[in-house]
Amino acid sequence: MVTRDVTGAAPVVVPIVVLDEIDSTNAEARRRAEAGEAGPVWLVGLRQTAGRGRRGRPWETGEGNLAATLLFRTDKPPAQAAQVSFVAALAVADMLAKYVPTSLVSLKWPNDPLLGGLKVSGILVESGASPLGDLWLAVGIGVNLKRRPIDSERPATSIATYSETLPPSPTEAIEVLAETFARWFGVWNTLGFPAIADAWTARAHGLGEPCVARLGNETVEGIAEGLDADGALRLRLADGHLRRITAGDVFFGGA
């Protein structure tokens, strides 16, 4: 597979390593990074026994679904590097649009790709200091290709539910995802986060609608207005004040 490398420079071959079974592709990426592997490399687990989502929640992959992590190094500072979660969300949205009508695809803050208004994918970005210098990033992406989770915290769905043909296999899906990710990564590197924010906003679910943000020990209600320059969600409270949401869970109706 030929894509652009994570610096946005000349085209290079980014390897895809397919593992029959792994505890977690993000955990494997961490082990490789801490052992000095620089990447870029995509890791795919056909069977994931201990998948993780945001805030340490378990992530059920399920047979026939995609569990993948891109490992690479970056010289961006941590706060800026975290913007890659929006890059990943756009990449997943484009991948989904290859198999289902584009009108069904949307993105919910901070990084939940939705299909028909229901969660179809999860994104988990982890990082650490690389033994080689700079920062290593593990961009974990799970996509429900064949079936939705049996035991899901929130309503979920799969590509198979909306596709008129058989859903893609994990090995087919990762080829598409790697290409769409490389394209959006190039946009991020050349045009910066404003271009990513604009593209994300064009696909956003729930903007202009009431929502509830659960922030650890606090619950905040307001109207979602859009993204700040750093990716924070702007929430207009009932008293007119603007609240920046930088971390937490946001709920719009049933999603």
Statement to judge: residues 217 and 127 lie in one domain: no
Can you give the residue range of the structural domain that contains 21?
A: 2-202
Statement to judge: residues 151 and 243 lie in one domain: no
More confident residue, 149 or 152: 149
Q: Sorting pLDDT into bands at 50, 70 and 90, what band is 229?
A: confident
Statement to judge: residues 78 and 96 lie in one domain: yes
Mean pLDDT of 69-97: 95
16 pLDDT exceeds 90?
yes
159, 114 contact by CB (below 8 A): no
Query: Which has the closest alpha carbon to 205: 88, 52, 93?
Result: 93
Looking up residue 215, the CATH number of its domain turns out to be 2.30.30.100
Q: What is the mean pLDDT of the chain?
A: 87
**DSSP assignments along 214-249, one per residue:** EETTEEEEEEEEEE-TTSPEEEE-TTS-EEEE-SSE
pLDDT at 49: 85
Statement to judge: residues 106 and 154 lie in one domain: yes
Q: Sorting pLDDT into bands at 50, 70 and 90, what band is 7?
A: very low
Statement to judge: residues 231 and 193 lie in one domain: no
Statement to judge: residues 12 and 115 lie in one domain: yes
More confident residue, 10 or 129: 129
Statement to judge: residues 36 and 63 lie in one domain: yes
Whole-number percent of the chain with pLDDT over 90: 62
**What is the tally of structural domains in the chain?**
2
Lowest average pLDDT, out of 5-9, 109-113, 245-249, goes to: 5-9
Count how many Cα atoms sit within 13 Å of the Cα of residue 160 in the half-sphere of its side chain: 16
Statement to judge: residues 162 and 235 lie in one domain: no
Looking up residue 98, the CATH number of its domain turns out to be 3.30.930.10
pLDDT at 59: 54
Q: Mutual orientation of helices 170-191 and 193-202 as an angle, nearest 10°?
A: 130
Statement to judge: residues 170 and 244 lie in one domain: no
Q: Sorting pLDDT into bands at 50, 70 and 90, what band is 170?
A: very high
pLDDT at 207: 87
174 pLDDT exceeds 60?
yes
pLDDT at 163: 82
Q: Sorting pLDDT into bands at 50, 70 and 90, what band is 197?
A: very high
Q: Sorting pLDDT into bands at 50, 70 and 90, what band is 150?
A: low
CB count within 10 Å of CB 129 equals 12
Mean pLDDT of 69-94: 95
pTM value is 0.88
pLDDT at 41: 97
Statement to judge: residues 198 and 214 lie in one domain: no
Statement to judge: residues 63 and 186 lie in one domain: yes
Statement to judge: residues 92 and 181 lie in one domain: yes
136, 152 contact by CB (below 8 A): no
Lowest average pLDDT, out of 40-49, 89-98, 174-183, 214-223, goes to: 214-223
pLDDT at 192: 95
